[in-house]
Structure 1
Amino acid sequence: MNRKQRGAATEGDVTGAERGWFGRLRAQPGFRTAFVAFCLTVILGVGAPAAYALWSSSVRGMVTVQTVKPPLPVITGSVQCMQRTILGVVSMRYSAPSAAAMPEGVYVTAVISVPDRSEPIYYAVPNTGSFNLKDLHGLGEYIGGSLSGKRISVTVSTVRLDQAPQALPSEIQAAAIRDQADAAPPAEPAYFYLSYQCNRL
C-alpha cells in the first residue's frame, strides 16, 4: 500500500477518541440489545405509577361501597301520652325497635317542640318503649312560663350520633346528629302547667 492509499484509509477511519463517548458505547458488542431493554424498562416504569394510582382508586371505591351505613330503623305506630292521675307522672309511650335493629351509634330520641320556640329540643332516651317527661333534665327551663301554661308536642325518632351520650336520658345538640330516620310517628300533644299533663286544654 503506498502513502496515498494509507492516507485515504486514515481519513475514512474514525478513531475511538474522535467518536466521543456515545460512539465508543455504540461500538461495544451487545449495545443494541442493552439499549432496547433499557427503553422498555423506562417505558414500563413510567406506566407503573399510573397503574398503581388506578388500582388504589379502585380499592378505595370498593372499600367505600362496603362501608355504607345501614338505614336507621323507623319507629312505627304512634306516641301516646300516659298518666295515672291529673298531676301524676306523665310518660310517653312508643314502639321500641328491637335491639338487633339498633346498630352501634344509633339512639332513640325524643323531639320536643314548643309553639313559641323556633327550634325543638332533643333528648337521647332509653330504647325501652317509654320515658318520663320529668326525667328530661332542663325541659322545664326550655318550656318556661309554667304559670301561664304551655302546650308542647312530643315525637320519637332514631338518630345516629357523633359520640355516645354519657347517660340516658340526656339532652343532645342538633349539631351532634349525623343522620336521622326517614320517618317518625306523628307528634303527640301534652301540656305543662306547674307539672306535666296529658289533658288537652
Structure 2
Amino acid sequence: MLLGPNGCGKSTLLKILAGLLSPDDGFLHVERPRSFVYQNPDHQVVMPTVEADVAFGLGKLNLTPDEIRTRVAKALDAVGMYEYLKKPVHTLSGGQKQRVATAGALAEACKVLLLDELTTFLDETDQIGVIKAMRNSINTSKGITALWVTHRLEELEFADGAVYMEDGKIVRQGDAISIRKFIEDKLASYVNQITL
C-alpha cells in the first residue's frame, strides 16, 4: 500500500506507473500488462451490464468468445461478483461497481494492478467488501503485484508491505505494521504541536 498526506504525489505516482502520465525525468519500467483502477468506479464502468463491462477491455486482445467468457467468469468470481453477471450496472452499489471495475482489470490478466483509493466513496460495508475481494483476487491470481493507494490506516491490515510518501518523495517503506506505527507516531507529534 502507498500512503501519505493529500497532495504528496501518491495518485500522480500511480498514474506514472500506469503510463497515464509521463515522468519529468528518470527511467521507469513496469511489467506489462498493467491495469489501473480509478478511485471513482463511475469513471471506469461504462457498459450496460456487468458481463459486458468486464469483457470491454478484452476487445483489444485477440481472444475467442469462449476465452472471453472464461476470463470474465474467473475475474468476477475472484471479486465475489459472479452472481451479478447479467445485472445492469446502474442497479449496483458503489462497492459492487468498484468490484466490477477491478474484475475488468483482472480479466486482462495484468501483471501489475494499480489501485487508486478504491474505498474513498464507499460506505463501511462496501469498503470491507472491496478490500476482501481485492485480497482474495490477488491471492488467487498467480504472478500479480498490486499497488494500492489509500489514506485509511486500517487497510494496512491487508497489506504485505507499505510505502509512505511526503512532498513527492518516499520517506519510509517496510512492513505494514512498522509503517502504521510510523504514521501514528507522526500524527501524534502533530497533535502535540497543535495543543502546545
TM-score, normalized by the shorter chain, greater than 0.5: no
| TM norm structure 1 | 0.18
Give the structure with the higher percent strand. 1
Higher Rg of the two aligned structures = 1
| TM norm structure 2 | 0.19
